[in-house]
Structures are given as structure tokens and as C-alpha cells.
Chains A and B, each alone.
Chain A
Amino acid sequence: MTSYQLTVNGHPREVSTDPSTPLLWVLREDLKMTGTKYGCGIGACGACTVHLEGTATRSCLLPVSSIGDRAIVTIEGIAGDPVGRAVQDAWVDTDVVQCGYCQSGQIMSAVALLKSNRKPADRDIEASMSNLCRCGTYVRIRAAIKSAAAKLA
């Protein structure tokens, strides 16, 4: 067990855990922040996506020992960001979700996309949204990203 000082959604958090523990499980089990989801554990599905220093990152493959002082933002904190809030609102207005399990990760990926590309075309969306959705909400995800982009323009 090792102690780590993390910055999650702007707040300092201290956890004591095995260094190999992925950030996903630190968030879910130590910090009780269950909005970030476990979907595959191999970085394939993106349900665990968080922002690490603003970059969309799969937290299921990220050992807590590798984080250092890089700032972590999760779905619970993304509304504090104007782009984050716009994306969440667009998701609700477009009625994107079905089961909703993958949507935390989808939203985190979409926010990262819109921060680097204010007007993504379909091809950009396909290239950067590598999150699986078994309910198949992809048509509405595209629409919500474009709607958020228009609102932010």
C-alpha cells in the first residue's frame, strides 16, 4: 500500500492503495465516484474515459502510480467546464442515452474532441469517438456533438 495525492475535479484527494491499481478502480472504490464505468479493462470500449491534464484517457489502464500531479477530471466534474456543460445539455436535448452506461465515457470523449476541434465533421467524430455503445446511440451522439458545437460557436 502506497499513499497518493491526486487532484480530482479540482479537489485534492489522498488515497492509499496498491501502486498497480488502475485509476478507474481508485475512482470507483476508494473515492466512491462511480460515474466512471468499467466496461472491458483493456482500453477497448472507453467507458472509463476521464481527462488527464485535459486529454481523454482510458482510466482502466492507468496505474495510479503513474499519475503524479496531473489533474484528473471525471464525469462528476465536467459540468464545471463550459464545454462540458454544453455537451451534457446537448446530450439531454438530443435524448441520446438509452441504458446510459457508456455515456459518461462518450461525453468525456466528446468534450475532449470539441476542445481541440470546435467544428468537427463526421469524419473527425468517427476518428476520435472510439467509445463502444451496445445500445447503438451513435446517430444521436453525432447529432449531439454537432448541436453542442453550434451552441459553443
Chain B
Amino acid sequence: MNRRAFLRASAAATGGLLVSIYFDLPVQAQAAPQKTFPPDAFVHVRPDGKIVVTVNRCELGQGVATALPMILADEMDADWSAVVAELAPAADVYKDPVYGFQNTGGSATIANSFQQYRELGARTRAMLISAAADRWHVPAGECKTAAGVVRGPAGQTARYSELADDAVRQPVPQKIDLKRPADFRIIGRPIRRIDSRQKCDGSQRFGLDLELPGMLIAVVARPPVFGGRVMQFDDTRARAIAGVRDVFKIPLVNGDAVAIVADRFWAAKQARERLQVQWDLSGVEKADSSDLSKRYGELARTPGNVAVNRGDASVLERIPPDKRIVAEYEFPYLAHTPMEPLNATVRFDGDRAEAWVPSQFPTYDHAAVAEILGLKPEQVAFHIEFAGGGFGRRQAFDSHVPREAAAIAQRVRSAPVKLVWTREDDVQGGYYRPMFVHRVEVGIGDSGAPIAWRHVVVGQSYVIGTPFESYLVKNGVDFDSVTGTADTPYSIPNLHVTAHHPKVNVPPSQWRSIGSTHNAFVMETLIDELATRAKMEPIAYRMKLLKPEARRLRASLALLNEKSGWRRNLARGHAVGIACSEYQGTAVACAADVSIESKRPRIHRVTVAVHCGLPVNPLSIESQFQGGIVFGLTQLMSKGAITLKDGRVEQRNFDGFTPPYIGDAPPIIDVHVVPSDEPPTGCGEPPVPVISPAVVNALTKLTGKRYRTLPITAL
């Protein structure tokens, strides 16, 4: 459907100017819930002086609820201290303008909505100026704006809030001029988060904090092996717990389960412990990490589907063995474990429903809830709640969490039910970064550069079998599984990359920076090994090997070289590892100062240099990089792995799958940004890929050993 989007100015029921987007065709999803204003609004200039900006993304911690209002407020010349952010509900107008669906992922918010929010701000400003010009009988071109005030040629002034009601009658300008970067007043400045205070005094409401009249709590007993089915269950002891309302079977995306509904979480959880379920696991594949390791290792010795075949693959055979590296890598399943456990709240009233979900994927989650309830999406109001982290876990392509909540609400009827996944449910619940094995053969030329490269990647695709297969899979290769390798920025004349995507009964998903979590590790540790063999400094070697078009990476490495001068003057027993990676257009170079303490890596200092185009909020970029570095360290933690034995996940909670604590994280992470006024690119995922290879390259310098299996169990 080819819809044209229009802007509309209108009066708000509560007064003031609303600037909205609407379509030239009736859009059913626009009947989504009302918040303080209709769900098509992006800007509300309120009579009390507040400027409410609707954020078309989920705030997961990445700072979109600050960055998007900054962009709009700058072009609008609003007073930043008057700006308020609100998260949009699910509705067509809030879809990503490039992707065509509403989501928060792929580090796409800033890249895809920068222009959109600038134009919205500029148009709103133009209407406010027109209203002032009419009032003062002066040409609009002679009016100026700053900090929420219009000034006329004779010194007249009017606040935006005073002009809002008149601006409603102004035509929406079709053509507008956007600011030159030199004129930005908010964009490019280090602005503190808009949602900080409420997250420091306990008043920020997350999805799990939702409290509604008559609300019930549900927990679900899921099968011990993915896809298992309920044969029968005995709920006598479960129902004996005070406050338990109902116990019943529900379907899952794969298999089925038993739901327990109670007045309170503690009652529901105790009841689940007393519930006796007999599971039917017949015909269900029981995945096992050690079997998979063997099977993947064998597959890696055979070519898979071709991702790239450049030059002459047979060149490798003509290179003598002492000029070859053969490397086999293995990566485990990884859980995301966002701090806020997964949850979804749904109320079903027969002919309509309402849902509250901290969701990275509203378009699909909204449709899934409607489908389960036998409703049309326009009969379901879908609210997006603040999320306690996401990292990809709240963007499951099958919307399995909202589906469970809808199935429970369907039976409960008329009362809102909040489905809570316990941490055990989360750690054992699948949707992991899949396990991967890489086998790489590199042939080294006389200059020390790789002249032939044969690379086989083995691992599940999270895309095959989903609606996104046709976009992301070509020649049987899920390109998210080979990012950074098939499209390597290094100049390798004979490059042959293939992939196998075995089917395994463990649901996979995307984990912050997806394929780069393993591809960057393989590429950057091998490049370092090549640099060592060529007796070249690692930054210089990379600079020499990068393709000329890898402009942003070169700039990042050059800045890193300048800013990490400390690496030439290290304490005894320390070494520095280097790595770089480009992801979603953002280039990152990283240096890590590492020693070994108590047989574990100790990271003393990390320096990163980043090229992300125009830095919209340098403070937020710094935070995303400091945080993303720590997130990336998950896979170096000794308990940073999910393993399966006979179909069962072996870890239960944070005692078995243990992400970094403060003592595991570097105390110093310096972030330097390459100055640029190119269109901005995202910073949510790009910090993650570089840190593990940088640390491991340092460890190799300290011990002389190569580390190709994660997590590292012995140094």
C-alpha cells in the first residue's frame, strides 16, 4: 500500500497546538489508545508552556527519549527545559520511516528518525512564526526564534505557548529550511538524560511495575525441553495456596504450558513450585551443547552456502603450510538477561482488549495479541512501557511473550493479567544468541597481508522461517550471521565465505550487535595474529590493510592512535590489545589495557574512538560506549555461557549465567568521538563487538596463547 503521509495541525482538547502525522487513507491502527493527546501526534505545544514530544521508539536505556526530543526541539528552537518526552503507543504513524514497521532495534533510531524529527520541529516552528507574524502584521521572514520565544522586528515577543492556539489555524508549510549544523543549539551538546531523576527516586514505572485495578498476576510452567507438551497435570496442591485463582493449559509458540493466575506474584510462584506436570517430550529434539560442538565442527570442514566468493579460492592451496593459519573458533549460546524480567499485561473484554508491553517490536507484538484474541489490531490498544533493558530480547520475531499473556487474558476475561517471567524463566527460556563455530584458513602473502581467506560459519539463523527471511536471507545465507566477515573492510583479494544454518531445537534471537558478536572476534583476533607474524604494530597493520573506502574505520583508528598514547608506557605485567569494527555505519576502534590477576583477565583501562557521523548527544554516546563495552564483556566471563545437556538448559539464574559485576568491568573507559557533520548513525550496538577481541589480543601478548573458544576457562 502506497500511503502518503501528511502533517496536520490541530487544537488539543486540553488546549494548545498539536502537530500530527496522518495518512491519506484511513488507518485503522490510529484508533490506538489515547494518552494525553491523540495517538497521531508528535508535538504538543501546551498552554502551560510544556512541549510534549512523542517518541516513536521504546526507551530501553539507550537514550532515545532524550535524543529524539533534542532533535525536534533544536529545529523548533524550543526551550529545552520545557520539553517532556512521552512514549508512543503502537500505531502506523509511529513506524520507522525507513523500515516500515514500528520497532526499536538495529541501532536505527538516530539513523532513521533524525531527518523525521528535524522536519517535525522545523514545521512546528514555522507555524508558530506565522501565527506571530499575523498577530503583529509583519512578514514572517522578519521574525526570529530562540528558546521558545518568537521575536518580531520591532522588539515584539511572544512565547510559543501564547501562540499555540493561533498556530492551529496556520497552514502546515510544505517546504521548510533546516538549520545548518553550525546553528544547532541542542544537537551536538552533551545533554543529560530527560528521565534521570525518576530513575533515581524509584518513581519511573517500568512494564513490570504496572498496577491496574483488579489486576491479577500470572506465571507459567513451561516444558523442561523446548517444544514439550503437557500430558497431564495435578494442580491440587497449587490451588491450595491462598490467592490462587486459576490453573490451566495454554499453547506456546512451540509446545504448550500450564499457566497459574493469582492475586499476587508470591502466591503464583509458590503454586508453580507445587504444581505437578507430566510432560510429553516424545518426538522433541534434545539439544546438547557438546553434541552440537562436534556436529558444527564437522560441518565447518565442508563449504556451506556461499556468502561471498571473490577472486580465486584455489590460491589458498598453492600457499605453503608455514604461510597458512588454520583456526577453529567456538562460541556458546548467550542470554540477554535484561535487568527487568520479561513481562506483558493484557486485559481482554470480549470485543476489545488493551495491552501494556515493554516492547522493541510493537507492530508485530500488537498483531500477535490481536490474533490470539481473535480481534483486529484496531480493537486492541497497545501501550509501550519503559523497558528495563532490551538488548534484542524484547524483539522476538514470534512475539512469544505477548502471545502467552494474551492466551492467559483470554481465559481470565475482563481483568488485566500481568504475565511475569521469573529470572529462571528468562535464563532457561531460549531466544539466545545462537552457538557458532567458525573455521578459517588464511594464506599469507610475502608482504604479510592475507591474500587468500576461506571461512566457514556454522550456526542457527534467527531469521529463517520468519517473515523477515525474504529480506535477510540470500542464497541460503542469513547475512546477519556473517556481518563483518563477508563484508570485511579489509582488503583480501581471494575471499571465500560460506555458511551453514543447522536447525536446532533451541530458539535463537538477536543479541546486541547480532553477528558481529562472533564475527568481529574471529576477524580481529586473526588480523592481530597476522600483524604479529608480520612484526607490525597492530594499528599500523590494520591501517595498511583496510580498504580505501573504510573511511570511518581509518578515522577511528587514527584517533585511537592519538588518544591511546598511554599504551606505549604500560605497567609491568600489562599488555594492550587492539580491535576495530564497523556496525550499522558506526566505526569503532578500541584499545584495552589488560593484566592477569587470579588467573582471570583484569581490564584496567579501555579507550575507544568512534565515528558515528554527527554526534547528536556526546554524553549519551559516551554512556552507550561505556555500557556497551561492559555488555560485550559478558562473553568473556567465566560463567558467560548458556549450555544444554540432554535438551535442558544447565544454568538457572545469575548464579549460573553471570554477567560482569562492577569489579569485572574496566574502571576507566575513555570515549573519543571523531568530529563530523555527516548524517548520524547509531550507537546502541556498535560498542559491543570490539571489546572481547581487544581483551583477548592483550591476553595473547601476555601468555603467548591463542584463545579461540569462549568463554575462556583457563588462561
Q: Give the interface of A toward B (CB within 8 A).
A: 1, 17-18, 20-22, 25, 28-30, 32-42, 44-45, 47, 74-76, 79, 88, 91-93, 95-104, 107, 122, 125-127, 129-142
Q: Which B residues lie within 8 Å of A38 (CB)? A: 208, 265, 341
Q: Which A residues lie within 8 Å of B264 (CB)? A: 17, 21, 25, 29-30
23 A-B Cβ contacts within 8 A? A18-B242, A25-B265, A45-B423, A75-B201, A88-B201, A95-B623, A98-B61, A98-B62, A99-B340, A99-B388, A100-B196, A101-B206, A101-B339, A127-B663, A132-B339, A134-B336, A134-B338, A134-B339, A134-B391, A135-B630, A138-B660, A139-B667, A140-B626
Pairwise interchain contact B623-A137, C-beta atoms closer than 8 A: yes
Pairwise interchain contact A136-B631, C-beta atoms closer than 8 A: yes
Q: Is B387 an interface position by the 8 A CB rule?
A: yes
Give the distance in Å from the alpha carbon of A142 to the alpha carbon of B668 in the complex. Answer: 10
Q: Is B204 an interface position by the 8 A CB rule?
A: yes
Q: Which B residues lie within 8 Å of A103 (CB)? A: 199-200
Q: Give the interface of B toward A (CB within 8 A).
A: 59-63, 192-193, 195-206, 208-209, 211, 217, 242, 264-267, 270, 336-341, 386-391, 422-424, 619, 623-624, 626-631, 653-655, 658-663, 665-669
Q: Which A residues lie within 8 Å of B340 (CB)? A: 37, 39, 99, 101
Pairwise interchain contact B654-A45, C-beta atoms closer than 8 A: yes
Pairwise interchain contact B654-A136, C-beta atoms closer than 8 A: no
Chain A: interface secondary structure? loop
Pairwise interchain contact B627-A79, C-beta atoms closer than 8 A: no
Q: Which A residues lie within 8 Å of B199 (CB)? A: 97, 99-100, 103
Q: Which A residues lie within 8 Å of B211 (CB)? A: 32, 34
Give the distance in Å from the alpha carbon of A37 to the alpha carbon of B242 in the complex. Answer: 24
Pairwise interchain contact B391-A34, C-beta atoms closer than 8 A: no
Give the distance in Å from the alpha carbon of A37 to the alpha carbon of B388 in the complex. Answer: 10
Beyond A44-B654, A76-B201, A132-B339, whether A22 also contacts B193 by CB under 8 A is no
Query: In the complex, what's the smallest C-beta–C-beta distance from A10 to chain B, in angstroms?
Result: 16
Pairwise interchain contact B655-A137, C-beta atoms closer than 8 A: no
Q: Which of B193, B205, B666 contacts A95 (CB 8 A)?
A: B193
Q: Which of B202, B242, B626, B654 contacts A1 (CB 8 A)?
A: B242
Beyond A47-B339, A91-B196, A140-B623, whether A135 also contacts B202 by CB under 8 A is no
Give the distance in Å from the alpha carbon of A99 to the alpha carbon of B270 in the complex. Answer: 29
Beyond A44-B653, A129-B662, A134-B337, whether A100 also contacts B266 by CB under 8 A is no
Give the distance in Å from the alpha carbon of A18 to the alpha carbon of B269 in the complex. Answer: 13
Pairwise interchain contact B423-A100, C-beta atoms closer than 8 A: no
Pairwise interchain contact A95-B619, C-beta atoms closer than 8 A: yes
Q: Which of B198, B623, B631 contacts A134 (CB 8 A)?
A: B631
Query: In the complex, what's the smallest C-beta–C-beta distance from B578 to chain A, in angstroms?
Result: 20
**B210 nearest CB neighbor, chain A only:** A34
Q: Which B residues lie within 8 Å of A25 (CB)? A: 264-266
Q: Which B residues lie within 8 Å of A129 (CB)? A: 661-662
Q: Which of A22, A39, A141 contacts B341 (CB 8 A)?
A: A39
Pairwise interchain contact A95-B192, C-beta atoms closer than 8 A: yes
**A89 nearest CB neighbor, chain B only:** B200
Q: Which A residues lie within 8 Å of B208 (CB)? A: 37-38
Beyond A75-B202, A136-B630, whether A100 also contacts B661 by CB under 8 A is no
Q: Which of B200, B204, B336, B653 contacts A88 (CB 8 A)?
A: B200
Taking A129-B661, A136-B660 as given, write out 15 further A-B residue pairs in contact, using a Cβ cutoff of 8 Å, ordered by the A residue number: A18-B266, A20-B270, A22-B266, A38-B341, A45-B654, A47-B339, A92-B200, A99-B59, A99-B389, A133-B630, A134-B659, A137-B623, A138-B660, A139-B626, A140-B626
Q: Which B residues lie within 8 Å of A104 (CB)? A: 202
**B427 nearest CB neighbor, chain A only:** A40
Give the distance in Å from the alpha carbon of A32 to the alpha carbon of B195 in the complex. Answer: 21
